[in-house]
Structure 1
């Protein structure tokens, strides 16, 4: 479908005259071409992608993405415009497949450099390893909180050549940003300021200890206050790279939806009117939307698509007068692989597969899924919670909890239902460690009630619980009174008694909107990684002749009434 130039300055008028108006030309304007990528999450290889475009009568499933094909597409587009700029909207790394995660995502950073990425906003997953690790990944070096992964791919890690931006992440004491707030790039003699921001709720979704001393402030306020400084440097064109997202029922390639919803919407509405383009991320949706005369884009995730964006910038004022954007699916075979990047990917794959192919243990089924409704338990949730409990037993653990969001994908097995290291790591890629703490029965009840605070259960799902711990719930009951009949090994939970609870360090810090975990006392920082506890549990179950993976005969969490 040939895109139609969208005139931002006349957005309201064009809406009123839809189907009648012809977009005006801008003879004094310069064309600047951007390509935007968001939420790559270390997906170096192509993966299966199902989508329905505006012209499709039925969903299509293709293999899409892969750094070799992305590089091929960029190579083709750069032949059309040698000054094309590749920019990102965060989560380039983190929650990655084993191919990248096992090397602290250093291969992905190197690949992005090969693609010619100029700048990207930081995303919440860039903070998974904490402030120290993010700065190491930007600047290089091997002093890492993940010494088992850092500098293992290459003995000398030089850091990213592209720049991370975060205008709204500041030191609590000084108020100074820990990363540059913006970068001014030039193409065809035009200065463009790219301003980065990450969702202000990042502190709720990363390990608290890793971001101690940092504040994540309001995104719009942080962006708006920069414009006088940028104008003083002769910049009139502003592009926001924002790791926050929304959703729409419109197809990913519809130009331009007017029904964007979600957390990004109020932020965009409060941006300075001079900002005409917001490149977004985080929600893993594909869209091209108009919000109060601004274009807001997102290109799904995993490299499945890229946003091609054309800016028309007035030569006299330096301001953006038009924006044309479209989302392009990066289907395997649609673009020839770029040989240098393809060779790099082959090398990463070969080195990684030697380690990842090593077997762990046999399970009972070909795959243990995290499927089902978010307001139910899952077979995989049960398995991970049970593994956490087993690892915590030497520290007195009686109950274990696991968040559904920490389980990235199904636990798949190969021939003979044998799980490899790579398949296990794909399930738990975050490298969290386990913490065992004291919590009273009353605190545990409050913790369970927090699953519905602000309708949370419909955002991230119920906590998954270990064997022997059961309860019922009725989501139709009043807030704070939805949890019923909590038992441990068949005995009702005693509000005044103390229990030993095991969980990952992410939850233990009160993250994921479960602040009650932070009240746990007598903590044992076990140092045991969640992936190691999972692998040990799988090995033990196989040795006992009871391979893991089957759902329990009796549910641990019972829904009394449908929400």
Structure 2
């Protein structure tokens, strides 16, 4: 097993210093313009620092607290001191699926932070469309007319818009057949023109609410990018950087230079790009890498602001073409750069405003406490029942019949205040990850398989069994062999036996959809319908509906949906 270092600041400080040296502006070559970029992707509203585990170039696994807007600003301050013309660029999902600190304000604090950081341009990601096309345009241009009036302009009383430009070369308005957002943005740096061309994965529409992107077409990424090159060349631009919200994966460490083992959908896109495109800055897969694909530089900087990619491009002044490119991924561990005082002050303001809002009462419950049991001998909890029921409630418009919730996603006991009233902050503490709910098709055989996967070797019940919604019941026998522990014919939906050949609509969170907690069968489901509703929002709406109906939710004990056979 590789050693895990919980504190590794000296090594990180040295790595940061070396990365800075590697990117210092070289002695001027009159024939070459050297342009420096800092790139981030998949920030997802992570204004605060958080823990990240990564493998360094020596193969050592390290866990550090990294990111946070004050540290990001501090790093940029240091780099801009060396090169005032350094540009900050993004590769999408700067917002969406964000912590409450940002999401509760329609992600306006994050966009404001990006303005303060001096972000110049970013591709859109699929999560930029979480609120729909109208909301994305509002976030770009400003204003308070929003499909989320309970969040928009609530933080600062107004919203002036993003100072940076979102790009989407492959997203078209089906009525006008024109790009929904600009396809590219041109910057002049050290006297040469550089075009940043943005794109999002062509399957983005399948991961957002269909009504939110109605009338938009998501086209092939490479074709759409290549299509704009003649237009750019006519403007005298011959240096191109692609910002694309599509990703890949690699077994190589995040900081390994020029890896050659990148795989995934991004690779096919890169291979189809015009040969003049030498630099591709990517996102979406939340992986850090510095790879080469057909000789091109392809980068990604993990997620959440834990890391920034420093990209250096050499441009021939005579031709305007890229003649050299290199990059480094810098982990922004706390202490590696002096935090920016002004940005830290902004963060403190966001925290203060958010804490006040998080104290807002949501609804009255039937009991004052619903315990999250840490005892692995307990299969079901009243809190697990409540959350599964709220997921089913939130997914009802999508035809959900059953809901499954992984107990690891339930982080703490729900303790209410006076009069058994739960606050928004208390709900956020129970479900802090902001997982979105997906509704999928599962056969009865797949449901049986998932239940059996709870007991496979290496799992036992150490992570707790899946919590299930009202009407779904089954029995299991711990003395039976693996793969046969679910009692045959005991799996019922409202008292009717689940048939292995039938298909059922099931609500799960996105973590499970990706096979999280070692449930591979969830990755085999079909007809995925994203609700774009976070689990905590579904819980709040469910509690409110029950309270208004005069039947507060919650119980002192579990409902007996999961039983061990004797």
Quickly name the TM-score band, shorter chain normalised. Answer: 0.7 to 0.9
Cα distance in 1 between the residues matched to 2:395 and 2:128: 28
Tell me, yes or no, if structure 1 residue 491 matches structure 2 residue 502.
Answer: no
Q: 1:97 Cα shift?
A: 0.2
User: Which residues of 2 match residues 332-347 of structure 1 at below 5 A?
Assistant: 332-347=334-349
Tell me, yes or no, if structure 1 residue 532 matches structure 2 residue 540.
Answer: yes
Residues 192 and 100 of structure 1, relative CA distance in 2, 3 Å threshold: same
Residues 387 and 308 of structure 1, relative CA distance in 2, 3 Å threshold: same
Tell me, yes or no, if structure 1 residue 204 matches structure 2 residue 212.
Answer: no
Cα distance in 2 between the residues matched to 1:378 and 1:172: 49
Cα distance in 1 between the residues matched to 2:273 and 2:467: 39
Which of 10, 13, 35 is equivalent to 1:32?
A: 35
Q: 1:304 Cα shift?
A: 0.2
Q: Which residue of 1 aligns with 2:95?
A: 93
Q: Which residue of 1 aligns with 2:453?
A: none
Tell me, yes or no, if structure 1 residue 136 matches structure 2 residue 148.
Answer: no
Cα distance in 1 between the residues matched to 2:113 and 2:148: 21
Q: 1:378 Cα shift?
A: 12
SS in 1 for 2:113: helix
Tell me, yes or no, if structure 1 residue 265 matches structure 2 residue 267.
Answer: yes
Q: Which residue of 1 aligns with 2:69?
A: 67
Q: Which residue of 2 aligns with 1:384?
A: 387
CA offset digits 1:429-456 (Å, max 9, x no partner): 7798999xxx9xxx8749969x99xxxx
Report the TM-score when normalising by structure 2: 0.74
Residues 294 and 464 of structure 1, relative CA distance in 2, 3 Å threshold: farther
Residues 33 and 389 of structure 1, relative CA distance in 2, 3 Å threshold: closer
Which deviates more, 413-422 or 170-179?
Answer: 413-422
Q: 1:328 Cα shift?
A: 0.3
Asked whether the equivalents of residues 370 and 415 of structure 2 are also in contact (C-alpha less than 8 Å), the reply is no
CA offset digits 1:264-293 (Å, max 9, x no partner): 110011111100000000000010001001
Residues 168 and 329 of structure 1, relative CA distance in 2, 3 Å threshold: same
Q: Which residue of 1 aligns with 2:153?
A: 151
Q: 1:385 Cα shift?
A: 2.8
CA offset digits 1:329-372 (Å, max 9, x no partner): 01111111111111110000011012224577633127899xxx
Which of 43, 46, 49 is equivalent to 1:43?
A: 46
Asked whether the equivalents of residues 94 and 101 of structure 1 are also in contact (C-alpha less than 8 Å), the reply is yes
Q: CA RMSD in A?
A: 4.5
- Gaps in structure 2 of 5+ consecutive residues: 1-14, 23-27, 363-367, 451-465, 476-487, 511-522
Tell me, yes or no, if structure 1 residue 286 matches structure 2 residue 291.
Answer: no
Cα distance in 1 between the residues matched to 2:187 and 2:353: 36
Asked whether the equivalents of residues 473 and 561 of structure 2 are also in contact (C-alpha less than 8 Å), the reply is no
User: Which residues of 2 match residues 227-266 of structure 1 at below 5 A?
Assistant: 227-266=229-268
Tell me, yes or no, if structure 1 residue 365 matches structure 2 residue 372.
Answer: yes
Q: 1:386 Cα shift?
A: 1.7
SS in 2 for 1:200: coil
Cα distance in 1 between the residues matched to 2:237 and 2:382: 54
Q: Which residue of 2 aligns with 1:192?
A: 194
Residues 397 and 41 of structure 1, relative CA distance in 2, 3 Å threshold: closer
Q: Which residue of 2 aligns with 1:296?
A: 298
Residues 495 and 543 of structure 1, relative CA distance in 2, 3 Å threshold: closer
Asked whether the equivalents of residues 388 and 405 of structure 2 are also in contact (C-alpha less than 8 Å), the reply is no
Asked whether the equivalents of residues 416 and 426 of structure 2 are also in contact (C-alpha less than 8 Å), the reply is no
Cα distance in 2 between the residues matched to 1:280 and 1:378: 42
Report the TM-score when normalising by structure 1: 0.75
SS in 2 for 1:282: coil
Cα distance in 2 between the residues matched to 1:379 and 1:168: 47
Residues 282 and 490 of structure 1, relative CA distance in 2, 3 Å threshold: same
Q: Which residue of 1 aligns with 2:556?
A: 545
Residues 490 and 178 of structure 1, relative CA distance in 2, 3 Å threshold: same
Asked whether the equivalents of residues 372 and 410 of structure 2 are also in contact (C-alpha less than 8 Å), the reply is no
SS in 1 for 2:56: coil
Q: 1:410 Cα shift?
A: 4.5
- Gaps in structure 1 of 5+ consecutive residues: 7-24, 370-376, 453-462, 473-482, 507-511, 519-524, 556-563
Cα distance in 2 between the residues matched to 1:39 and 1:222: 22
Q: Which residue of 1 aligns with 2:86?
A: 84
Aligned length in residues? 487
Asked whether the equivalents of residues 431 and 529 of structure 1 are also in contact (C-alpha less than 8 Å), the reply is no
Asked whether the equivalents of residues 411 and 424 of structure 1 are also in contact (C-alpha less than 8 Å), the reply is no
Cα distance in 2 between the residues matched to 1:38 and 1:423: 30
